[in-house]
Structure 1
Amino acid sequence: MKHLTPKEAWAYLQSRPEALLVDVRMEIEYLYVGHPPGAVHVPWYEYPDMHPDPARFVEQVRREAGGDLDRPLVLLCRSGKRTVAAGEALEAAGFREVINVLHGFEGDLDAHFHRNTVNGWRHDGLPWEQL
């Protein structure tokens, strides 16, 4: 698995239009916190269970990728942690190019336990939208 900063991931997505940007956060995060335009939403886990179902996740991503295990996947979550486990499941299923976006959409916590102030997709000024 490769690890790219948000700006590196954005540049990668611009240079590789066949790449699939997969947002693995819960639906409420994807809709109300925001997401990059064009990202497909496939949650790693969902409320209220909060337990991943790797087989379900892999199957949904496989459908989104058109069954193409060579299609590059760029994974995004809140802080870059969920995507590691999700990426490992995808690699175990045979996907050959899986990229984790470091720091995720909202970034790491600062000294006051706030996000979006240190790093992350939004902090870096990359495109995003929300409901």
Structure 2
Amino acid sequence: MKHLLPKEAHAYLQAHPEALLIDIRMELEYLYVGHPPGAIHVAWYEYPEMHPDPERFVNQVRREVGGAIDRPLLLLCRSGTRTLPAGAALEAAGFSEVINIVHGFEGDPDEHFHRNTLNGWRFEGLPWEQM
């Protein structure tokens, strides 16, 4: 798995229009916290279960790419943590170009446990939208 910082990931998406940005957060996070425009939502896990189902996740991503497991996939979560096991599941299923967006959408928490203050997609001023 490759790892790109948010600005690097945004530049990669601009240079590779065939790449797919997959937001793996829960639906509530995706809708109400916000997401990059054009991101495809495929949750790694959902409320209330809060347990990943790697087979379901991989199958859903496979449908999104039409079976093209060589298509570049950039994975985004809140902080860049959930994307690691999700990316590993995709690689184990044969996906060849999986990229983790380091620090995710909201970034790491600061000393007061607030996000969006140190790093992440939103902190970097990259495009995003919200419901």
TM-score band by shorter chain is over 0.9
How many pairs are equivalent? 131
The equivalent residue for 1:129 is 129
2:45 is aligned to: 45
| Partner residue, 2:107 | 107
Separation in structure 2 between the aligned mates of residue 126 and residue 74 of structure 1, nearest angstrom = 15
- Using the size of structure 2 for normalisation, the TM-score is 1.00
Q: Pairwise CA RMSD of aligned residues? A: 0.3
Q: Which runs of 4+ in 1 moved over 3 A?
A: none
Listed as ranges, the matches of 1:33-112 within 5 Å are 33-112=33-112
CA distance in 1, matches of 2:20, 2:118: 26
Distance of 1:21 and 1:13 partners within structure 2: 8
TM-score relative to the length of structure 1:
1.00
Work out the CA distance in 2 between the residues paired with 1:58 and 1:8: 25
Gaps of 5+ in 2: none
In the alignment, the residues of structure 1 paired with residue 65 and residue 78 of structure 2 have an alpha-carbon distance, to the nearest angstrom, of: 22
Q: Which runs of 5+ in 1 are unaligned?
A: none
Give 1:118's aligned residue: 118
Which string of whole-angstrom CA distances, capped at 9 and with x for unpartnered residues, describes residues 39-89 of structure 1? Answer: 000000000000000000000000001110110000000000000000000
Give me the identity figure in percent: 78
